[in-house]
Structure 1
Amino acid sequence: MDLAWVRQHVRQAAGRIGFGLVDQTKLVTAASELARNTLVHGGGGQMDSTELRTGATRGLRLVFSDRGPGIPDIERALGDGYTSGGGLGLGLGGARRLVHEFSVDSTPGEGTAVTVICWTTGPPPPGREST
């Protein structure tokens, strides 16, 4: 995956969906950090993006996945002040604060998948998400 392509794709998709400039920037920043983690720590991988809609609310789901070494301690990796060095200085915890929904699925030795979702007007009520 190419980091410049990820940033461009996410910005274009977020603009097309109706995100304002500030929310586009937050999502692009989170995506850039997650893509970089996928490349540097996971040895490369992929990003899948899906446009979501529930009523008038639109969103974007991004899934960053790799087959790298995994994250042995997810809680520690999500903590403030944790860094592996060389990134935007956000880490997983910073990326998590920039989006509405965030989840990490990681198995040491098998890889990691990080899913983020941003909504145009905040998250919809539980159980209302559709694609």
Structure 2
Amino acid sequence: MKDYDTASASAETVPVANSSDVVTARHVVRTLAQRTGLSLVHQTKLVTAASELGRNMLVYGGGGVVRTVTVTENGRTGIFVEFKDQGPGIRDIELALTDGWTSGNGMGLGLSGAKRLVDEFDIASGPEGTTVRIVKWGR
């Protein structure tokens, strides 16, 4: 995935340390998606993915930071969202992306479900933490 400039002046950053911060991050993503003109269906898919990834970041990574920015490429506009924590990392990313696999009490659809809801999905993980980057493009 292209490394979009989340440090740009238009980027919004939300620190996530508790469940109300996940709600705030979800609201920021929805507002940006509305401002960008994403359809209601694309807004819903993006916000659902962001909610799940934010919750995962809190539960499994101990919290972190969500950064979001409007991006433009090849005449289309979309929303880029990055979820970055400093947790213990995901030992087996391929397994974690398998439908039905869970390391907790969930249904095992979080990462794989979020991946299906967006147009671009990238995950990197190690002992220093996990970073998930997603993009949802307007049509």
Give TM class, smaller chain.
0.7 to 0.9
Q: Name the counterpart of 2:34.
A: 15
Question: How far is the alpha carbon of 1:105 from its aligned partner?
Answer: 0.5
Could you tell me whether the CA contact under 8 Å between 1:49 and 1:60 is conserved in 2?
yes
Could you tell me how far apart the structure 1 residues matched to 2:88 and 2:45 are? Answer: 28
Q: Name the counterpart of 1:129.
A: none
Q: Normalising by the residue count of structure 2, what TM-score does the alignment of the two structures yield? A: 0.81
Percent of aligned positions with the same letter in both sequences?
A: 52
* 1:113 to 2:131 alignment: yes
Could you tell me how far apart the structure 2 residues matched to 1:115 and 1:88 are? Answer: 22
Q: Name the counterpart of 1:100.
A: 119
CA offset digits 1:60-90 (Å, max 9, x no partner)? 1100000000000000000011123455763
Tell me the amino acid that sits aligned with residue 57 of structure 1: R
Tell me the amino acid that sits aligned with residue 44 of structure 2: T
Aligned residue for 1:41, secondary structure, equals helix
Change (3 A) 1:10 1:93: same
Structure 1 regions of 5+ residues with no counterpart? 122-131
Could you tell me how far apart the structure 1 residues matched to 2:98 and 2:107 are? Answer: 15
Change (3 A) 1:120 1:63: same
Structure 2 regions of 5+ residues with no counterpart? 1-15
Could you tell me whether the CA contact under 8 Å between 1:33 and 1:88 is conserved in 2?
no
Could you tell me how far apart the structure 1 residues matched to 2:26 and 2:40 are? Answer: 14
Could you tell me how far apart the structure 2 residues matched to 1:88 and 1:51 are? Answer: 31
* Equivalent residue pairs, number: 120
Q: Normalising by the residue count of structure 1, what TM-score does the alignment of the two structures yield? A: 0.86
